[in-house]
Amino acid sequence: MKKLHEMLTDYVIRKGMVEESDREMYEYAFQITVEVGLFAVVCFVIALYVNMLVEGLLFFIIFVPLRSYAGGLHMETFKSCFCLSCLAFSCVLLTVGYLEIPGLFSISFLLLLEFIVYTLSPVDNENREVDEEEDTWFKKKLRNFLFFDFCMAVFCLLFRKERYLLLIAATFLLIVISMLAGKSKLPHV
């Protein structure tokens, strides 16, 4: 993968689109883009394979903003992050595919999980410290997403879409597990 990032960076530098002095930044940007793209494609294939494309899309609608503003565990290498993320995605889909849980239980559990997410957030990353101003901004954005997700859950409950409601709760459970693992991994001060 490293060769691909370097090759893409060489190309944009050679074409005069960016300066050589920005090489490191562009290599990193290409690395992240390729890694996220690969993960998205693999998850798309998994969702198609288990015939749960709508559930897979709903997972990402919930997961991406929450993970962005609440934080969570960060793995050391792309390979470990990729494997664990694909496994977690598959587990959420399989949980939804094989379990039937009453909607009232799912929404009650979701309320508890939303409270835990808000209380734990944001989970800092040792590679990027968050100052007080950013922390306040993240909390505000997170509140908006928590409200949106809860409204979506109520909609699912009202229209008897227990499967989607369970998916929302399972995704939140995954976020809480990631946040707890991320907090336990941080060096204690």
Q: What percent of the chain has pLDDT over 70?
A: 96
Report whether 50 contacts 93 (CB < 8 A): yes
Q: Over the stretch 55-78, which tens digit does the pLDDT of each residue have?
A: 999 999 999 999 988 988 988 888
Q: Using CA atoms, how far apart are residues 78 and 31, in angstroms rounded to an integer?
A: 10
Predicted confidence at residue 189, as pLDDT, reads 41
| 24 and 71 housed in the same domain | no
Q: For all residues of the chain together, what is the average pLDDT?
A: 91
36/58 same-domain check: no
Cβ–Cβ under 8 Å, residues 122 and 69: yes
Distance between CA atoms of residues 128 and 30, nearest Å: 19
CA atoms within 13 A on the CB side of 64: 9
What value does the mean pLDDT take over residues 149-159?
A: 97
- Separation between Cα atoms, residue 53 and residue 101, nearest integer Å: 20
For residue range 110-138, list pLDDT tens digits in order: 999 999 999 998 887 766 677 788 888 88
- How confident is the model at residue 5, as a pLDDT? 79
My answer on whether 10 and 70 are in the same domain is: no
Does one domain contain both 37 and 78?
Answer: no
**pLDDT single digits (tens) 82-105:** 999 999 999 999 999 999 999 999
Same domain for 61 and 32: no
Range of the domain at 142: 52-185
Q: How confident is the model at residue 186 (pLDDT cuts 50, 70, 90)?
A: low
